[in-house]
Amino acid sequence: MKIGVKYCGGCNPEYRREEVEEVLRKHFKISYSEDVDILILINGCRKACLAEEVEHPNILVVGSPMSEEEIVRKVEDAMKELGKAKP
Amino acid sequence: MMNGKEYIESLRKYKPTVYFMGKKIESVADSPILAPHVNAAAMTYELAHDPKYEDVMTAKSHLTGEKINRFTHIHQSTEDLVKKVRMMRLLGRKTGSCFQRCVGLDALCALYITTYDIDQKYGTDYHERFKEYLIYVQKNDLMAAGAMTDVKGDRSLRPHQQADPDMYVRVVERREDGIVVRGAKAHITGAVNSHEIIALPTRAMGEKDKDYAVAFAVPVDAEGVVMFFGRQTNDMRRLDGDIDCGNAKYGTVGGEALIVFNDVFVPWERVFMCGEYDFASELVETFATYHRQNYGGCKVGVADVLIGASAAIAEYNGVEKASHIVDKLTEMVHLAETCWCCSLACSYEGFKTPSGAYMPNLLLANVTKLNITRFPYEWSRLAQDIVGGIVATTPSELDYKNPETRELIEKYLKGKADVPTEHRIRMIRLIENLSIGAELPESMHGAGSPAAQKIMIARRANLDLKKEEAKRVAGILPDEDYQRVRGEEKKE
């Protein structure tokens, strides 16, 4: 299953967005691509500009600091859901 | 949707217990003391029917799909948040006063979000219950007074620690059909001329404060509700005529009241939080964010009137071209528009909550309100500078209207020859009303005092991230982008 990461513009982030990517890289194989099964949008704040702009069937939105466990759980849940949906 | 006249008429159906100056007010709709506040609130109804304003004054209910007054709408987008502050500025400009209805709107929005979150955690049904109530408010186009500030007693003690347990509104009895509440809420804007009172907790609560973690709605004339309408500077002038009031039609600020809940019964369908102390701070923070968002709208609308009055009096005095006057007026505009920028910014930077409702950016909403605790003092100072000392020494309306003395006042209070003396006096009185009375402390303390905003700003200041940026720029931390630009990737 392919996992992609897309960052918002980072004008005034409320936390270190890179930490989300670091966690993702530790647990999954990810790429900077939208042509993926699950697209993770890393927003710097709760405004979550990307969520308004990007169209993708399987999106995970991050807009505030999350623990490593929470990030991993969310991605795994999304993978499970997608796995169920696929024939 | 009601229009202004229908709103005033609707108040006759309610019989709230209201005291002022030692007497009971028999009819809110007919009291000359309350009239300016009733008129200002009526504008929130009237303009919704005017094709020139309906785009900001109305919305489509996300629950019923019907066209509703925006003062009963739950924001469904950042554009809704922006339209809310546009509505605030419009009404501030139209009334030169407080039109009061925003507090209830903000209480509705805060409860929409928090009841959803409580249900997610505890499996309660507050949100569905609240939605039913919201539909009732929307369908009947009701004005709700948002009642948050408790009387607080000893400020160093938590609610359950107070010598008198009624210093914060609390549940004194839980019954099968509802709860009984006791306590009082202070400085409640538009309370006496609302249809409903929505009470919210005023602070974060601990487990021992459980009985104080209560949110509910009651009609203004519910049994046991007693209100005391507060005094304002120069309030009795409205009994003497209209000129000395400055703004006889719409008054100044909201007409605040002390609301006492004297063992008031609230049926369960009107209870939206009861004991969930861990959600009290979320409710307070959400309400405060919505309410602080408003102030760069409404106060700037009022500032538009004050700036206009200052420019007009300069003309009446023949000094409109003096460079220091132009400079002062420009400074007033700059201050006002800075606050407007803040309200727009926190709205555009708003976000969707799990309930689906949108709320403004918390940091920027608090910055908006903190500016309002300061800038109105400065634009009022400039207005007083422009108008001159006569703002505090003008003879009374009664002397002006006295046939024996009118001629002398006509002659000696004259400005430019082509400006009627009465116009000059009216403009001076308007500036007095807007820059000397209750308007300024309301700017300071309405929606929370400056310290409350500072706490929120400090909490969201994110100094760690700013320090990191500083260290990178100072060369203490690596700067990967810089290294790439300079081809120095391996040097640092």
Q: What is the pLDDT of residues B297-327, one digit of tens each?
A: 999 999 999 999 999 999 999 999 999 999 9
CB B310 within 8 A of CB B431: yes
Domain that holds residue A53: 3-85
Q: With CB atoms and an 8 Å threshold, state whether B351 touches A14.
A: no
pLDDT at B396: 97
> In chain B, where are the structural domains located?
284-453, 462-492
**Span B7-40, pLDDT tens digits:** 999 999 999 999 999 999 999 999 999 999 999 9
Q: With CB atoms and an 8 Å threshold, state whether B349 touches A45.
A: yes
Q: Is B442 a catalytic site residue?
A: yes
Q: Chain A contact for B352, CB < 8 A?
A: yes
Question: Of B238, B231, B361, nearest to B292 (Cα)?
Answer: B361
Question: Of B336, B340, B365, nearest to B447 (Cα)?
Answer: B365
pLDDT at A83: 85
Q: With CB atoms and an 8 Å threshold, state whether A47 touches B361.
A: yes
Question: Of B202, B152, B213, B132, nearest to B179 (Cα)?
Answer: B213
Q: Is B368 a catalytic site residue?
A: no
CB B44 within 8 A of CB B91: yes
Of B46, B72, B73, B98, the active-site residue reads B98
Q: Chain A contact for B350, CB < 8 A?
A: yes
Q: Chain A contact for B12, CB < 8 A?
A: no
Q: Residues 6 or more apart from B162 whose CB is under 8 A from it?
A: B153, B154, B168
CA-based nearest residue in chain A for residue B362:
A46
* Residues B346-353, mean pLDDT to the nearest whole number: 97
pLDDT at B492: 45
Question: Of B334, B346, B343, nearest to B375 (Cα)?
Answer: B334
Rounded distance between C-alpha atoms, residue B458 and residue A50, angstroms: 27
Minimal C-alpha gap between A46 and chain B (Å): 6
Tell the residue number behind the tokens 């009470």, with chain if given: B199
**Span B82-91, pLDDT tens digits:** 999 999 999 9
pLDDT of B223 > 90? The answer is yes
Q: Is B98 a catalytic site residue?
A: yes
- What ipTM was estimated for this complex? 0.84
Tell the residue number behind the tokens 């400079």, with chain if given: B327
pLDDT of A84 > 90? The answer is no
CB B147 within 8 A of CB B188: yes
pLDDT at B120: 98
Structure tokens at A31: 């790429």
> Residue A86: which pLDDT band, with cuts at 50, 70 and 90?
low
Mention the CATH class of domain B284-453.
mainly alpha
Please list every residue in chain A whose beta carbon sits closer than 8 Å to the beta carbon of residue B352.
48, 51
Q: Is B274 a catalytic site residue?
A: no
**Span B437-488, pLDDT tens digits:** 899 999 999 999 999 999 999 999 999 999 999 999 999 999 999 999 999 8
CA-based nearest residue in chain A for residue B353:
A46
Minimal C-alpha gap between B448 and chain A (Å): 24
**Span B401-422, pLDDT tens digits:** 999 999 999 999 999 999 999 9
pLDDT at B490: 60
- Mode of pairing for the β-strands spanning B144-147 and B196-199: parallel
**Span A38-55, pLDDT tens digits:** 999 999 999 999 988 899
pLDDT of B127 > 90? The answer is yes
Q: Label each residue of chain B as H, E or C.
A: CCCHHHHHHHHHHCCCEEEECCEECCCHHHCCCCHHHHHHHHHHHHHHHCCCCHHHHEEECCCCCCEEEHHHCCCCCHHHHHHHHHHHHHHHHHHCCCCCCHHHHHHHHHHHHHHHHHHHHHCCCHHHHHHHHHHHHHHHCCCEEEECCECCCCCCCCHHHCCCHHHCCEEEEECCCEEEEEEEEEEEECCCCCCEEEECCCCCCCHHHHHHCEEEEEECCCCCEEEEECCCCCHHHHHCCCCCCCCCCCCCCCCEEEEEEEEEEEEHHHEEEECCHHHHHHHHHHHHHHHHHHHHHHHHHHHHHHHHHHHHHHHHHCCCCCHHHHHHHHHHHHHHHHHHHHHHHHHHCCEECCCCCEECCHHHHHHHHHHHCCHHHHHHHHHHHHHCHHHHCCCCHHHHHCCCCHHHHHHHCCCCCCCCHHHHHHHHHHHHHHHHCCHHHHHHHCCCCHHHHHHHHHHCCCHHHHHHHHHHHCCCCCCHHHHHHHCCCCCC
Total domains, chain A: 1
Minimal C-alpha gap between B356 and chain A (Å): 13
Question: pLDDT exceeding 70 applies to what percent of chain B?
Answer: 99
Q: Chain A contact for B361, CB < 8 A?
A: yes
Q: Give the other-Cβ count within 10 Å of B268's Cβ.
A: 15
